[in-house]
Structure 1
């Protein structure tokens, strides 16, 4: 699986509002592992460090790649994003 970059906006299964990805390869408070963490788009704007993304514990959506129905917008990508993405996939 190729992880989507931070800032990608997606449509999820069973959720009406679009979601913007703000982090990847996360563990929820109840210790479940997810591919992504996101916020409602466009109302969920927050700043996160690029390319690592969100690292805190605010209330957000955790979801896996198989719940993505459609990619609405691809996030910003640089060489450092590609290197980090490959390292995350190896984990």
Structure 2
């Protein structure tokens, strides 16, 4: 079932196994990780995905992106109570980390 991404904001994270598309790219991607940190740039990405249906072929074929980049959710991955609890804890931890980083940045001014 196809559904258009409704821009649900940063508070929403798709479960692993979800298949998505970008606006200007026909390749479908399958999400296999969330809240990925780039150790070189210290940038945090909402998702890491691989080409669908090919899978994770090499470390160089990982695609990092943010929720706002999604134009279509082709398939939503499995959601159960464990997934919901994990997602909520993940979002709560990120919110706390973001607040701490903002407070530290304010102190440096």
Q: Do the two structures share a fold, i.e. TM-score over 0.5?
A: yes
- Root mean square deviation, CA, Å: 1.8
Q: Which contiguous aligned blocks of 4+ residues in structure 1 show a shift greater than 3 angstroms?
A: none
Residues 46-65 of structure 1 aligned to structure 2 (within 5 Å): 58-59=59-60, 60-65=62-67
Aligned-partner Cα distance in 1 for 2:36–2:90: 11
> Given the two structures, how large is their TM-score scaled by the length of structure 1?
0.80
> Given the two structures, how large is their TM-score scaled by the length of structure 2?
0.68
Aligned-partner Cα distance in 2 for 1:13–1:62: 15
- Structure 2 unaligned regions, length at least 5: 1-10, 95-109
Aligned-partner Cα distance in 2 for 1:74–1:6: 8
Q: Which of 1 and 2 has greater Rg? A: 2
- Structure 1 unaligned regions, length at least 5: 47-57
Show the counterpart of 1:69.
71
Matched length: 81
